[in-house]
Amino acid sequence: MNRTIAAAMVLSLSFSAFAEEPKKLKGSKKETAPKLDLGMPKFGDIPKDQKLESAKGIDTNTQAGPSGAKAEDGYKVVSVIHGKAFIRAAGGSRPSAPFPQVNVTQSNPYSTEKFSSIVRVKSPGKKNTSVELVILDTRGDTVMDANGQLRFPTNSDEAEWQVDWEPSGIRAPGEFQVLVRVGGNPLGTFPLKVALPEAAPTPAPKQ
């Protein structure tokens, strides 16, 4: 009897040794994905009890000079004059006859007469640069514009530039403005009266 029990035990152990191990279910093994190096810099902790510095503001009070010009070139408009003919002088041109306004014809649309404008610019650096005149109507719309080159003489820090305007249609007469740009930068606006010519006085009847 004892021999029978011992034989059964040996047989059972033999079958256990050759039995296949149970297969693991798919997904039962937990794997950790490898960490990717994205090239991001490592930032240290912000130290405590230290204030963060805010970005410094830009000084908007400093106006940039004309393109391609140094600060000492500083362009300044001396005068803007208008007329039909001019007298040249060392101190600057002036109209040969009074020119209080630009006359317009009463048509549809209104049309300006032919006239000329001279802008005089001062610059200690005497550096030649571009110049532009833009005539704006009462709404600020461009009516006429012209551009050219401002050239300084060797014996003066002031230069003049003249433009001859052809007749141009306008919406209505009024108080216009002349915008001056030097080196691409606006240097101010100057008044220009555009109006209908004054009617000639009616002669008094003969007695």
Tokens of 67: 């393109």
Which residue in the block uniquely carries the two structure tokens 């039962």?
28
pLDDT level of residue 51 (50, 70, 90 thresholds): very low
Q: Is the pLDDT reported for residue 18 higher than 60?
A: no
Tens of pLDDT, residues 127-161: 999 999 999 999 999 999 999 999 999 999 999 99
Domain-wise residue ranges, the chain: 71-193
Highest mean pLDDT of the ranges 14-18, 20-24, 141-145? 141-145
Question: What does the DSSP 8-state code read for residue 137?
Answer: -
Q: Is the pLDDT reported for residue 50 higher than 60?
A: no
Q: Is the pLDDT reported for residue 121 higher than 80?
A: yes
Radius of gyration, alpha carbons of the chain: 45
Q: pTM score, two decimals?
A: 0.62
The CATH topology of domain 71-193 is Immunoglobulin-like (2.60.40)
Phi, psi for 91 (deg, rounded to 5): -85, 0
Tokens of 82: 């208008």
